[in-house]
Amino acid sequence: MIKVAINGYGTIGKRVADAVRAQPDMEVLGVAKTRPNFEAETAIDKGFPLYAAIEEREDQFAAAGLDIAGPVAELVDAADIVVDATPSGIGAENKSLYEEYDTPALYQGGEDAALVDTSFNARSNFEDAVDADHVRVVSCNTTGLSRAIAPLREAFGVEKVRATLVRRGGDPGQTSRGPINDILPDPVTIPSHHGPDVETIFDDLDIDTLGMKVPATLMHMHSLNVTLEEAVDAAEVRDLFGDESRLFLIPKHMSIDGSGKLKEYALDAGRPRGDIWENAVWEESISTVGRDLYLFQGIHQESDVVPENVDAIRAVTGSADAEESIRTTNEALGIGL
């Protein structure tokens, strides 16, 4: 069993912890929090050993009636690999801790690509992370773009990608985020950071991205225009995407016309927290004009990177190849079933 430490038990960390626990070849050695809150209590209720991410705050956990297993350094030392799910920028600060104990580490997309040996997307460049010491699982939006681009490159070739990203203002629990009643170019300059980030996965890709933030919390929405190297029929793209386990094609008969109904569907289907681990591609939106492909896809920012973290654990530890890892992760979580 691969012994996994999770440093940061928030939006991503708690989901990764549950996903790791579900795997047949992994165990959660413990999770770390900077302070006591409802997520720290939930971690203990779920049986995850809780560690103090900041040693000087151990007394705060005791004051809140929460028993901790020790400081985060002890957790890192005992683990085979650590998943750093801390807020953007904190992972970079933690890198020296992981190096001190010679523990390989995964970071999230908010960290700079220069921090790590390679950026990672399971569908696109799994082998690049094999036996690496520091790997960055790219952001939710970059993950979503990479999953769609990879099969298109393989099947038809890609000349140019243009993507407009309509981004949620904040997650449901991020009460400090916005905008409240506005639509913001974010950034107002072109490209947004997403295009260069995708190029950390595909270094020869021609991609332009634009970003906006809107007063919503449920999901991001992508409008994609991909110029392929050959003319294709929309049906060919639908068939291609239909074979991709982490691309969920929303059929017309489901009458899902937006993010709200998509989340409602995930909850009704029994998905934990209403999570949508796959890209949600509206099948009707897949259209072609000559070599130009158009589509809309929804990206659940809280969960689409979760299976990627699990696969990155296997890549870094050299415990499975891409096909085996993706299959095992999907089966354990119920993706594509």
Q: Are 110 and 87 in contact (CB under 8 A)?
A: yes
Task: List the catalytic residue out of 31, 135, 137, 140.
Answer: 140
Q: Are 245 and 330 in contact (CB under 8 A)?
A: yes
Cα–Cα distance, 93 to 97 (Å, whole number)? 8
CA-wise closest residue to 76 among 41, 114, 49: 49
With tokens 């400081």, the residue in question is 71
Q: Are 117 and 104 in contact (CB under 8 A)?
A: no
With tokens 């796959």, the residue in question is 278
Cα–Cα distance, 214 to 304 (Å, whole number)? 20
Active site residue 296: no
Cα–Cα distance, 158 to 314 (Å, whole number)? 29
Residue 157 region, left (φ>0) first, then alpha (ψ -120 to 50), else beta?
A: left
CA-wise closest residue to 207 among 220, 193, 196: 196
CA atoms within 13 A on the CB side of 36: 15
Cα–Cα distance, 144 to 198 (Å, whole number)? 10
Q: Are 292 and 226 in contact (CB under 8 A)?
A: yes
Residue 214 has phi, psi (to 5 degrees) of -130, 160
CA-wise closest residue to 143 among 274, 245, 259, 279: 279
Cα–Cα distance, 173 to 89 (Å, whole number)? 20
Q: Which residues are catalytic?
A: 140
